[in-house]
Chains A and B, each alone.
Chain A
């Protein structure tokens, strides 16, 4: 009974893994990796909700009666491309921070900021 919800539990586990990586690691690149895992878990959440038993891909063809829901596919298509755009911008910011502060670790950056103030 409750085992029919296992896809949501997988999503929650992945989401928490990504969340933990973002808040627990100091390196900026690792934080971006954690953010990427978080994003992918949200995609899996939506796409697993769109699946209908005995359904096929939502491309109209003769002889198929049951289609999977196309609406979450559209939303996730947008989300994937926006995700790569924000990842690129985040990586550019990380590169610039490294150049300005000399390190990509959160502790060193905060120490240098406190020294300058």
Chain B
């Protein structure tokens, strides 16, 4: 398949199919995240990348027989390795015996949150989630380092006249999206705070919030979106999320307990757990939304960039 646009679209369909597969496997939180991230953000970023790297692939001149041989050998070795695994869905498999029953049985008394995945993610394994938030932040900083361009700031009159001329062409889309964006943002807030009781949580909420901003940016132009969301503001916001997350752990340390032990945050341990989970999910949501917006804005800005300016500096 030579056309990369078709490849990216098929990848989006594949992500959506795997999200529905996760629903069948009773993994509702994972399905939500995969649908939002894989079928939404990933497809969008790849489309942005293809507009800059070229839409078709050059045909290879040699037949990759060695690659095929390596793949077949590795595949058969892996299939031989799976013969020892437990059967699909059996309840006596070793992974269901040791740690998981403790989480399922004790989660309600110790933490008091119905969604076990949220309680494990935010309280029992909060340190791993901290590492994940820092990884997202680092990826945002990496994209900033690679793709940021110096933007000539345009004055407001040119932006307004540009908007007026484009308004007629995209009239229906602009009006419908203006009606939809508040609901999308409201839904993001709902998913953020409802993650304790149903599927949801910080990551999904951050991604949905960012996608509302992408919709606005795509229809109203980068200049208008930059006026609404300043570059330095969004960078400070990304750092604030990570800071909020880390400071919850440090406050627990200062109160005499271990790092990320939320029972130190309030007199009643269960109320402390609730407060701790709320604060760190908020931190995660803020960082994810800000980093997604940073990545998108930098990809979109790079489209109008020509390398002549860079050679001037050299």
Contacts and interface: CB of A to CB of B under 8 A. Distances in A.
Do they bind each other?
yes
Interface of A: 2, 4-9, 12-13, 15-16, 19-20, 23-30, 32-33, 36-37, 40, 43-44, 47-53, 55-61, 66-74, 76-78, 80-82, 84-89, 91-96, 98-99, 104-105, 107-108
Given A19-B74, A73-B27, A74-B120, 4 more contacts: A5-B88, A37-B11, A59-B114, A76-B30
Contacts of B302: 95
List the 4 closest pairs (A to B, CB-CB), nearest first: A85-B139, A4-B87, A24-B64, A8-B82
Nearest to B294: A88
Nearest to A1: B87
B155 interface: no
User: In which size bucket is the chain B interface?
Assistant: 35 or more
Contacts of A7: 88
B132 interface: yes
B116 A12 contact: no
Interface of B: 4, 7-8, 11, 14-15, 18, 21-22, 25-30, 33-34, 37-38, 41-42, 45-46, 48-50, 52-54, 57-58, 60-61, 64, 67-68, 70-72, 74-75, 78-79, 82-83, 85, 87-91, 93, 95-96, 99-100, 103-104, 107-108, 114-117, 120-121, 125, 128-129, 132, 135-136, 138-140, 142-143, 146-147, 197-199, 201, 203, 288, 291, 295, 298-299, 302, 307
